[in-house]
Structure 1
Amino acid sequence: MKKQRKQNWVYTPKKITVKRGIGFGLTDLMGGGWNNIVSGVIFAFVMSQGISPALAGAITGIGRIFDALFSLFFGAITDNFYRTKLGQRFGRRHFFILLGGILFTIVFPLFWVRSDNWLYYLFVYIAIELIIAMILIPWETLPTEMTNDYNLRTVLSGSRMFISATGTAIVFLVLAALKHSNNPNAYLVTGIIWTIIFVVAIFVSYRSTWERPLTPEFLKELNSRPKLSFGQFMKQTVNDYFSTFKNKAFRQHLMIYLLSFTGKDFYSTLLPTFIICTIQGAKGDLPWTLQALSIFGILSTLAAARLMVTHGPKFLYSLSYSTIIVTMFGYVLTWMFNIKNPIIILIIISIFYQLARGILEFTPWNVFPFIPDVDRIMTRRDRSGIYAAVMTFFRKSTGAVASWIAGILLAEIGFNSKTMTTYGTTPHGIQLGINVIFFVGPVVLILWALLLSLKFKLNRQTHEVLKKEIERLENGGAKADVTQEAKKVVEELTGESYEKVWPDNPDL
């Protein structure tokens, strides 16, 4: 059995290069693309079928609540799947990536079929979300599985976010092209094209990555954990998830991540309605053309990969968030001054927004692979799957809130998706309401994230100190021999006194 494991490609580490990083990151063609489909396309697509904004928002809202609950436990399932024969043969992470990819191929195109029944979209949407969670949660743990080196993890995560930005651009470029051609089946054809691109990406990524080898030492660590009944497993999982909030760096990271991404969701959800219904002279393909400018996010992602190493996440947060706030003022002022032929102005504003959005999406997921190391010194356990599941759970919950609230607020101001379909058919009072919702949601959330990011301490320098301290303790070093620098960094990142970290009993 041990010999077979050594020969299994899924447990065979390889040299991490930019090419290998791109292979890992390809799954985020789907991950980044899907998140932008949820926030920027589904709401508009469902309303185009004559379904009210409140129900259109409810589809993603209800669906993501189901998905969030599923995601809450799925990370722990992948952490422990090594105990099964399937997990040992295919990998505790890779098995679910493979299964999810097959299911995605079958289910995803079904959402883009025309229907006036919102329940149809709800049920298909829930199925898609669960399948995608089955792929993304184990995939998100792979940088931690593949290496413990900061720079190599940055290569992996940086490649991932570059690919994510590419996925966002592909999503909107394809849709904008088909909308511009007035194709009556634009959404269905686009859905099929998306499926092909995403599935190819998933399977390339599946074969380009590996997991931490099941060495005798690692198996001893894993098997030292007690086998639990289903009830005990559920209880421990909930306890594990709540325990992640003892990690100060993770608390800060999670709040910054959720606030900024939810602000982005408000923007993407409401941009089509804002453009089509409040901007004079806007055509039906303009929102998707502006969203397709997300291709500029690829450029900012490349720059951010360098700045992440030289300046750290705090600098990137400040640059991104301040730029987004300025662009939101630009959008609303374009409407207030009732500018004729505003397309050039909107394109310029959108380019700056997309450059900032690329950094916004890049930074949290480049920070994330180092969060389990903070947990490692707190618990002496390998819990990257749990952290990925908590991140996914709360991200999907807040994403649901953004789309749902947007739909409810549009309904409250009297917006009618059947009659108010262009600038000329939308009364001025309704236009004002749309602008207020479109502006206030993103600006308040992004500003809050900006203020929190100024206190964030995890970066390349502090992680290097943390990693060396973990290595010292793993090699039998005494806690009493800690340096003042290491003690300060550990306490700043964990939020615990040094005496409480690296417990004698890892299961406590």
Structure 2
Amino acid sequence: IIYIAIEIVIAMILIPWETLPTEMTNDYKLRTVLSGSRMFISATGTAIVFAVLAILKHMQNPNAYLITGIIWTIIFVVAIFVSYRNTWERPLTPEFIKELESRPQLTMSEMVRKMVSDYCSTFKNKAFRQHLCIYLLSFTGKDFYSTMLPTFIICCIQGSQQDWPWTLQALSAFGILSTLAAAKLMISHGPKFLYALSYTTILITMVGYVLVWALHISNPFLVLAIISVFYQLARGILEFTPWNVFPFVPDIDHMMTRGDRAGIYAAVMTFFRKSTGAVASWIAGILLAEIGFNSKTMLDAITTPSTIQTGIAIIFFVGPVVLIALALILSRSFKLNRQTHEILKNEISRLEQGGSKKDVSPEARLVTEELTGHPYETLWPDKRSL
């Protein structure tokens, strides 16, 4: 009951929070700075979590998870308060308030039907479909890595030190550095470059992890630490990029519907992320059971049979590699970047000022059709979508 209550409250916080860069500015560079700042803080938080756990595990503290939970709860509450006091929303114009008040009152069943219809309508947005697939594949691949890393390290590398996995995860502090670099690269090179850089690096590091096991490296921890540094640098970019792309997606929808629906897009992303968040753990658990792994295996990791070691290594490698490779392939055709967003924004501004759709430039027509996935004639409808 407590877990469900927390999930509901967090969803109520996440959905409006994710729309803030869109609400606070229309400028590509400023939105990138805002999103980069929040992802920098997120990367710092991730590093703190694993660092505290690694220290407490190393000290063999029986209350390691409880203490970490208390620390994180305090940080969480402070972060929400700071965000609440220092952010703003797009000002409500008299015209928009009048429109809101004129909307018909819906019954509960009508509201549910409209909500489902609104959620489904987001998939008409081509750029959003691509973005969501890239996001879910890459983040689920990252989840698979995090789920399987302790099992792989302890059972395959035979790290008798139970704090090894947490120590390696604590190297996520390096993700802070890559997040700072990614903010600059997002402006100068765009998301496609960041996707390629991050995913390619992760694929190489996954090969490195398996080679440490296969080659029986004599000093595995040092080598694993070096590999993990590169993985965490890439992970920082992996987490940074989708949430820096997201603030620009509602502008594409605005071209399609003339509505302001950033919250609906944030809700869809949050819903699917929560739905897939446990998929990696669930699939990993099923695959581990199929190769004969059970709870006793971790307790006696030194004597893990070679067949189970091989199975664990294959699961640890194949899961993230397949998902990240698919994300890399999809990212190659992703068109939303600083240049295309600027063209889109200028076209929206022209139409808002009374410009005719007949006067669209060939470049604006091409870009808007590529981003939306619809013929230009069907865009910017006469009536705003509610």
TM-score (norm 2): 0.97
The match for 2:92 is 214
Query: Which residue of the partner structure matches residue 217 of structure 2?
Result: 339
Aligned pairs (5 A) from 1:56-75? none
Describe the shift of the 1:408–1:292 C-alpha distance in structure 2 as closer, same or farther (beyond 3 A).
same
**Matching residue of 2:76:** 198
Q: Pick one of 371, 374, 382 that aligns with 1:493.
A: 371
Query: In structure 2, how many angstroms separate the alpha carbons of the residues matched to 1:460 and 1:226?
Result: 38
The 1-side partners of 2:56 and 2:73 are apart by 16
In the TM superposition, residue 282 of structure 1 has moved relative to its aligned partner by 4.1
Question: What CA deviation, in whole Å up to 9, does each residue of 1:88-108 have, x standing for no partner?
Answer: xxxxxxxxxxxxxxxxxxxxx
SS at match of 2:278: helix
Q: Which amino acid aligns with 1:331?
A: Y
Whether the aligned pair in 1 keeps the contact of 2:252 and 2:372 (CA below 8 Å) is yes
Matched with 2:360 is: 482
Aligned to 1:44: none
Query: How far 1:401 moved relative to its partner?
Result: 1.3
Match of 2:101 among 202, 217, 223: 223
- How far apart are residue 411 of structure 1 and its match? 1.9
Runs of 4+ in 1 over 4 A off after TM superposition: none
Alignment of 1:33-72 (within 5 A): none
1:418 aligns with 2:274: no
Q: Residues 334, 200 of structure 1: CA spacing in aligned structure 2 closer, same or farther, 3 A cutoff?
A: same
Structure 2 residue 316 is the aligned partner of structure 1 residue 429: no
Return the offset for 1:422.
4.5
Deviations 1:273-309 (A, max 9, x none): 1111211344111101100000000111111100001
Matching residue of 2:110: 232
Residue 145 of structure 1 is matched in structure 2 by: 23
> Are 1:295 and 2:180 counterparts?
no
Query: 2:121 matched to 1:243?
Result: yes
How many aligned positions are there?
A: 386
Q: How does 1:283-322 map to 2 (within 5 A)?
A: 283-322=161-200
Task: Quote how far apart the aligned CAs of 1:341 are.
Answer: 2.5
Q: Secondary structure at the match of 1:420?
A: helix
Structure 2 residue 363 is the aligned partner of structure 1 residue 452:
no
Give the Cα–Cα distance (whole angstroms) in 1 for the partners of residues 12 and 284 of structure 2. 27
Q: Unmatched 5+ residue regions in structure 2?
A: none
- CA–CA separation in structure 1 for the residues paired with 2:151 and 2:378: 52
Q: What residue is the counterpart of 2:208 in the other structure?
A: 330
1:399-418 aligned at under 5 Å gives the runs 399-418=277-296
Q: 1:496 and 1:448, CA in 2 relative to 1: closer, same or farther beyond 3 A? A: same
The AA in structure 1 aligned to 2:82 is V
Aligned-CA RMSD value: 1.3
Mapped to 1, the partners of 2:378 and 2:261 lie a distance apart of 18
Consecutive unaligned residues in structure 1, runs of 5 or more: 1-122
Residues 140-179 of structure 1 show CA distances to partners (whole Å, capped at 9, x for unaligned) of: 1111111111111111101011111111101101111111
Q: 1:222 to 1:144 in 2, by over 3 A?
A: farther
Q: Does the CA contact (< 8 Å) of 2:154 and 2:298 recur in 1?
A: no
1:220, CA displacement in angstroms?
2.6
2:378 maps to 1:507: no
SS of residue matched to 2:111: helix
Match of 1:438 in 2: 316
Instruction: Supply the distance in 2 between the matched residues of 1:469 and 1:178 (Cα, whole angstroms).
Output: 55
In the alignment, the residues of structure 1 paired with residue 124 and residue 297 of structure 2 have an alpha-carbon distance, to the nearest angstrom, of 51
- Cα 1:125–1:332 shift into 2, 3 Å: farther
Which segment is superposed worse, 410-419 or 139-148?
410-419
For residues 490 and 224 of structure 1, the distance between their equivalents in structure 2, rounded to whole angstroms, comes to 31
Alignment match of 1:372 (pick from 250, 261, 266)? 250
- Does the alignment pair 1:272 with 2:147? no
Deviation at 1:419, TM superposition (A): 4.5
Taking every aligned residue pair, what percent have the same amino acid on both sides? 77
Aligned equivalent of 1:252, options 130, 133, 136: 130
What is the SS of the residue equivalent to 1:461?
helix
